Amino acid sequence: MPEKNKKIDPKEMPFLDHLEELRRRILISLGVTMAFMIAFMPLSGFFLDILTLPNNRLKEPAQLIYLKPAGIMMVRMEIGLVAGLIAALPVIFYQLWKFISPGLTPKERKMVMPAIMITTLCFLIGSAFCYFIIIPTILPFLYSMSTETIRPQINISEYIGFLLRMILVSGLIFELPVLSYFLSRVGILKPEFMKKYRRYAIVVIFVFAAIVTPPDPVSQSLMAVPLTVLYEISIWISVIAVKKRQQAEAETDNA
């Protein structure tokens, strides 16, 4: 008779069970994000001061206003949500790694915590790069388009939304090396492919930078150059990941 309490190998889980597992991981991530959002709401004013600092430090800062009675409240909620999302990143990445861990070897599963730390650190570095380098360069250029009779007076929701989008996009971009390592480790991506299409990738990078930044060479370069460097780093990381995968496969065959 089959054992009633026999555990199911995660690798042999039916497709619907995989979807249920994914749903559970997503719900946990959302719950933690909402919890952090609620915890950070009392600090939304502090975060608002930090986000408006790049504007206020300029010689001729724009006047930040809100046009609706509930406008500033919605801005504070948006800031709280993004702050909660960033604070919950270790948990989100942990849930992601736990979801894909059945497809990893026991040795790779031991690397979960270092991988979470590296992934979170890459996101924070990208966000900090955007806040301290890209934003202070972009704002003066945008404001320079005004005239003596037309001065910048910006809705705070538009200003905060612009900054938060730039910060989140920059953080995600800096995850490129981590993504390269994972895809190469599981055999989906190969360094030869990245080297072969390097020129096309650089063109795509500059097009992407032109889309997400104002149309001036300085701002585009501030986004495109780090992206190009990250692409080159990702190639070397892919080489390392492929070698490790080949070594793991050789050890498995010899066992």
Check residue 104 and give its pLDDT: 67
Which residues contact residue 57 at a Cβ distance below 8 angstroms, ignoring those fewer than 6 apart? 136
- Where the chain has pLDDT below 50, the residues are 1-8, 10
Check residue 105 and give its pLDDT: 67
- Could you give phi then psi for residue 64, rounded to 5 degrees? -95, 125
List alpha helices for the chain, DSSP H: 15-40, 44-56, 71-87, 89-100, 106-109, 112-129, 135-143, 156-173, 176-185, 191-196, 198-212, 217-254
CA atoms within 13 A on the CB side of 184: 23
Return the structure tokens found at 186: 């599981």
Distances (CA, A) of 234 to 93, 126, 134: 19, 15, 22
**Which residue, 179, 28, 201, is CA-closest to 99?**
28
Q: Where are the domains of the chain?
A: 13-167, 175-255
- Tell me the three state secondary structure of residue 216: coil
